[in-house]
Amino acid sequence: MTYQPAFPAALQPAALTLLEAMAASELAPPHQGFQVSVQGELLSAPARLYCSPGDLRALIEQATGDRRTLALCLGTRHWNGYVREECLRRFIATDCSWTAPFVVQLLGEYVIEIVELIAATAPQATLQNLAAFARENPKFMALTRQRATSYWDCYFRRHFRSLQTYPAITTLNAIDAWAQAA
């Protein structure tokens, strides 16, 4: 299915401009990714972006404030795992509610370096945003947990002998604990 962008009202104009700029160097059009609620508003992200890494980096560097953070969040949907990790590193400590779905989505993906980065660097402020997001999106959290479990079982079982020691699961457990405590 073709991607239908939707972002909270305050971000929608910037998101559409960024996505249009990325489309100029796209190798393939994006497909529909995840849809979640952020403080009662729909956020729909692409499954993957197939734009040039150089063009994406240029867009990020030209942007400022929330627009830059949004460009970095969209960068976590890039086809290249190194680009996804680079973008995540630059916004993971950002205290914005709408960054949470981009972080959580990565916990359900297969790049262990990204999962370990999230597990190691999710600061308390970010954890609070992640917990609020979890309370609002229980089905998305359950799906992310299922994906993380599947990747652990297929690829990481030998390195992490117990599912409960797999960084994606420990982070999801921490998010759930914060969500229940609030």
**Burial per residue of 127-143, b for 16 or more beta-carbon CB atoms within 10 angstroms, e otherwise:** bbbbbbbbebbeebbee
Domain ranges of the chain: 1-91, 95-182
Main-chain phi, psi angles of 27, to 5 degrees: -85, -25
Strand stretches in the chain, DSSP E: 32-38, 41-46
Provide the pLDDT for residue 22.
86
Provide the pLDDT for residue 122.
81
Q: What is the largest CA-CA distance in the chain?
A: 46
Provide the pLDDT for residue 24.
79
Provide the pLDDT for residue 1.
65
Amino acid at 154: C
Q: pLDDT for 90-128, tens place per residue?
A: 999 888 999 999 999 999 999 999 999 999 998 776 888
pLDDT below 70 — which residues of the chain? 1, 125
Euclidean distance between CA atoms 71 and 182, whole angstroms: 30
